[in-house]
Amino acid sequence: MTALTPGATTLSELIIEVFRVNGLALAAGDHLSGPAGLTSSRWQVLGVIDHGPESVATVARTMGLTRQTVRIIAAALEREGFVVYEENPHHRTAKLLVITEAGRRALRQVEASHAAWANRLARGIDRERLRGALEGLRLVRDVLERDASRASRKA
């Protein structure tokens, strides 16, 4: 069995902490988005297509999810009237997800709740420490993406 180097141990601890933070962030997101009839995942999808219509595949890539997961979320959003599908002029079969006015209203409601929540939490954390954490996570994400890309080329 190969022993972890000190750097690998720290990286592993960071990843475990990210998993914990992700769970807490999703729970908080569900709490913030619930009054608008959304969940964290539905909020995220609406946030992506709020900038313009996108295919399920593009939303999945943007969010780091599988297409199947986004299809399930999009189907729920469509049933609730928060999105509609439109023809894609660039692809015959990959329709575009488009946010509706009801979806936009729900998204704005969640964004307002999120702003108040984030402002409250941020008051207790030094901004430079947050910036350092953000830069560190972006570096780790870049390394993970490069590793995943190499692994997929070998497969």
8 occurs within a structural domain: no
Q: Which DSSP state fits 125?
A: S
- Can you give the pTM of this predicted structure? 0.86
Query: Could you read off the pLDDT tens digit of each residue along the chain, which spans 155 residues?
Result: 899 999 999 999 999 999 999 999 999 999 999 999 999 999 999 999 999 999 999 999 999 899 999 999 999 999 999 999 999 998 888 899 999 999 999 999 999 999 999 999 999 999 999 999 999 999 999 999 899 888 888 87
135 occurs within a structural domain: no
144 occurs within a structural domain: no
7 occurs within a structural domain: no
105 occurs within a structural domain: yes
Within 10 angstroms of residue 118's Cβ, the number of other Cβ atoms is 12
Domain of residue 84 covers 22-119
CATH classification of the domain holding 41: 1.10.10.10
91 occurs within a structural domain: yes
Give every strand in the sheet of 83-88, ordered side by side: 54-55, 91-99, 83-88
Distances from the Cα of 81 to the Cαs of 28, 66, 113, 121, in angstroms?
A: 24, 23, 21, 32
